Amino acid sequence: MEEERPDNEADTQVTPPEDNATPEVSSDSSNKSKGLIIAGVVVVALLIIAGLFLPPISLGERLSGGGDEPETAAATEAAPEEESTAETETAVNTNIPDEFDMMVDDPNTAVNVAAIPPADMASANVGPLPAYVAVKSNVYVIEADDPASGRIAIKYPPNSNPDTLDIYGWDGANWFFVPTQIDETNQQLVSLEPASYQAYTLVNTDTETVAVGGTTLSDVPEAVKPFLTEVMAGTLLLAGNGDLQGEAPDVSGDDLDTYLWVTNVGAVIDQASLSAFLSDTTAQGNQINALVNTAVSGGYSGINLDYQGVDDSQTAAYTSFIQSLADALHAQDLKLIVTLGTPQETGGNWDSGGQDWDALGQIADIVYMQMPLDPTAYGPDGLAEQLLEWGSHQIDRNKLVALVQASAVDRIGESFTGLSNEDALANFGSLEFTTGGEEVGPGEPVEAALIGNATPLEWDGTALTYRYSYEDENGQTHIVWLGNPASLAQHLEIADKFNLKGVAVRNLGHLTEEAGLDAAFTSAISDAALPEASGAAIVWTIKDETDSVIASNSGSDMAFSWEGSEEPGTYTLNVEFALGDTVLPLASAAIAVGEPEEEVAEEPEEEAESADTAVASGDTDAVVRVDANVRVGPGVIYGLVTGGILSGTEVPVLGRDASSTWLYILMPDGKTKGWIFGELLDLNPNLDVSALEEIEVTAEALPPSSGGGGGSDDGGSSGGGGSNPPPPVNAPPVTNASFELGGQTHTFANPQVMSAAGMNWVKFQQKWGPGANPGDLAGRINNAHGAGFKVLLSIPGSPYPDNINYAEYVQYLGGVAALGPDAIEVWNEQNIDFEWPAGQIDPASYVNNMLAPAYNAIKSANPNVMVISGAPAPTGFDNGTNAWSDSRYIAGMAAAGAAGYMDCVGVHYNAGATSPSQTTGHPAGSDHYSWYFWPMLNLYANTFGKPVCFTELGYLSGEDYGGVPSRFAWAANTTIAQQAAWLAEAASLSASSGKVRLMIIFNVDFTQWGDDPQAGYAIIRKNGSCPACATLGQVMGR
């Protein structure tokens, strides 16, 4: 399926407006300096979006277009004699050696540069600089008949810190921030774009006064409240075409600056709603009016706009909306905060996606810059510092705020999620007695343990906190860093290091009343030392009825022994996590010590016999300990057996899984069998679990889920807060290790969702054209690899081509291969005139002129790249001029020897409207092979004898779009649930067939809807949900 995309999908340089409409920096000394702002913002989810950073370049290279030397008098003397004297003087006077250099855009402009000491600025008609900056160089006055535009560079003083230096420009009335980059080799700051100011100078922002902010006070610990001067109140969530859902409480009378938070970030980033909204100027106008009215009537200081996932094609529309919103707010004397996503570092550059940092930095009053969630990013010269070194030279640091995480962080793969310490500690497990129990006799010992899957705590010196790891029910490893004051202070300090306006704190509500929080915030706004890291321990205590501690132990032990007490009464066993002076509860249990009895031989035996009834006695294998779920397979990815099973039920145990974690039981009806988590059973001591038959789940053991249960699966260690996973698909899990799954996307904005669906490949389609630069793809490749994904690049040309320069295309593919992608698809749907010149469609020509030489070029550049033949369009139409049927075309490819020049044969299958198991009954009323999964797979696999790579496989559903376009009427009745089930079944069948190497889902998150309904194929649906992610995750073992 053809994608309607710009010719160049690679990371593109964002260019600021040419009119230099920079926001005014007042030169009025009464405008007080605004130092550090610590703002707390509750952020639900973050998706990391990115921009480009021009690589550092020497002054001569930057200003002379890549030459070895800057343009100087000597260079001018080499010019033709007819050039005017003024032009020669211009070249000489644009450079002050070891201080200043300028390359004038128009060489005919007469320009002279003069270096003026800061004390003499007034005599040169240059106004005073803002009070919050200190001058670090001479002031360089540009004298010209007309405004002189050009790039400039200023040498920074030896032993100075360029990370905190900026260039300011004077326009005759005010000073403005000039975006720059650092050239460390030549010790200078270089402007990113041409500017036309009358004077320039180098400054350092001086943060003297400090303001501090945070979230709504009801969620903030008391220790933090005294520091707050700025809060976010209320949340409005973008939904549909500009609609906003949520609450905006009245904040009139608050002492703090209070902003209304407006976002499209919920459980996932709602790119579909944002895309539709940015395409509708009427909806934008309505939303601006609603936001301004709400802010005015509710007593807000302004709006914090947090719209993430902007598509590159909508950059201009997004920037225009921000400008209109800012204008409307400013008319009411209100401010606009814009929250920007975390740029992605790719090969030394920074990619900000569809957010134009330069333009947005000029428009917004305050800019929140989302910092990495990774706690290890904040060490010396770490990712956080690298990001701020770049970002603070893109946006005026006097309005830039670093947005950091307040508490614990959970990492899975390359995905990071913030959470409270209480939630982070849940993985330590539940408290269970291993000896004794909740009722014991006098002097009877008690042993207890935390039964969970967390590893022991270890210190992370880079993150300044403790961490542990655990494995979830899907076998994926998580790393969890706990929050503490030392780590928080490390995050807060970074804003002061770069002289930013301030720092905002995510999830302040996750902070507990931890000792040391005040020290963390104090160190951020003063020269006070950072709080020292505190030790951590698991603390076990036994308390009597007077709350006196009679036994205790602390350390890293997950188990505890108590010798018991001769004194009857009720005792309390507490397990707590201590981090310095902060103590968080983990678990608690009451222990009743009974009265001594005279007939010790009789009564305890009776009680033991009664107790044994609940612990499986005689011929009973096991007794269910609590109301529990029973599943059709050994794991929570499998569906539920209707009704579950009740506490106290006796059950026969028929088998086990390979790890003996799940046990196979016979239900009370004597017919139904199912799987239960082993720890939910009290087993007969005579039952040898290791001797039970190890049962493998077959396809027959995986019927669709027949209903939900109200019980537990694993006491909380594997479940999800009581919510049941979706029912499994009617297909076995994938066991073929050589089969892999991926998804096609434009933006790669949802790697976490893709990973949850079992994908480890991402496909990008890159349009090639004459003069294309392979290096444009480096950012995409590196970004995907950094997220743990393999990369498939499909590289066709422009639509309806007249001709193809084969040699140039082949050379381009060799250059791309050298960048390290994992697979390249050579062209796309070359059997139709949309992709290949009409009248020249010929499989032999494709093989001889393109596929074979491309294969050799790719393998020469990088033998590890998998070469996939271009997938033909599946069609029965064949007139020999505008199209060949794909069956005739691939037969011609095979005859031309294509199999010798591919590692995998590319296939598209996107016209299905039945289960992939079916071979008849398509709504189109045709039995043509292209409508059905198996005939398509067999045709291509048998033709070439090569592994098949589905480079597009998708099912169209218009259920959430009100139907499908008329030419796709065959998909009119396909539901989203069917899409989810059929995709998972196709993955299962592909893997079990032994014929398929790779299956790429078409598509992950396209938002285009129209005559080409690409959004209808997307697995992330219009409302942001992803039913197919769950079903795919089931069969892929996630």
DSSP string, 289-357: HHHHHHHHHHT-SEEEEE-----GGGHHHHHHHHHHHHHHHHHTT-EEEEEEPPPEEETTEEE-TT--H
Q: Round to whole Å and give the CA distance between 556 and 921.
A: 63
Fold category of 740-1035 in CATH: TIM Barrel (3.20.20)
Query: Beta strand 335-340 with 366-370: parallel, antiparallel or unpaired?
Result: parallel
pLDDT at 782 over 60: yes
Token pair recorded at residue 542: 């036994």
pLDDT at 608 over 90: no
**302-320 average pLDDT score:** 94
Q: Round to whole Å and give the CA distance between 1033 and 987.
A: 10
Average pLDDT, the chain: 81
Closest CA to 31 of 178, 166, 175: 175
Judge if pTM exceeds 0.85. Answer: no
643: left (phi over 0), alpha (psi -120 to 50) or beta: left
635: left (phi over 0), alpha (psi -120 to 50) or beta: left
Return the number of other C-beta atoms located less than 10 Å from residue 716's C-beta. Answer: 15
Please check whether the two domains, 211-419+458-525 and 740-1035, share a CATH topology. Answer: yes
pLDDT at 949 over 80: yes
92-132 pLDDT, tens digit each: 588 899 999 998 888 888 889 999 999 999 989 999 999 88
482-510 pLDDT, tens digit each: 888 888 888 888 888 888 888 888 777 67
CB 796 within 8 A of CB 768: yes
Token pair recorded at residue 102: 């300028």
Q: For the chain, give every domain's residue range.
A: 51-205, 211-419+458-525, 428-453+533-593, 610-701, 740-1035
CB 180 within 8 A of CB 166: yes
Q: Round to whole Å and give the CA distance between 287 and 276.
A: 13
Question: 594 CB contacts (<8 Å, ≥6 apart)?
Answer: 439, 440, 441, 442, 568
pLDDT band at 533 (very low <50, low <70, confident <90, very high): low
SS (HEC) of 714-731 = CCCCCCCCCCCCCCCCCC
**582-596 average pLDDT score:** 87
pLDDT band at 14 (very low <50, low <70, confident <90, very high): very low
Token pair recorded at residue 565: 């007490």
724-755 pLDDT, tens digit each: 334 445 666 767 778 999 999 988 888 878 98
Provide the β-strand partners of residue 175.
25, 170
pLDDT at 1018 over 90: yes
Question: Could you confirm whether domain 610-701 is CATH 2.30.30.40?
Answer: yes
> How far is C-alpha 507 from the geometric centre of its chain's CA atoms?
17
233-261 pLDDT, tens digit each: 888 999 877 889 988 888 887 778 889 99
Fold category of 211-419+458-525 in CATH: TIM Barrel (3.20.20)
Q: Round to whole Å and give the CA distance between 748 and 10.
A: 12
**129-149 average pLDDT score:** 90
pLDDT band at 381 (very low <50, low <70, confident <90, very high): confident
CB 469 within 8 A of CB 480: yes
**CATH numeric code, 428-453+533-593:** 2.60.40.10
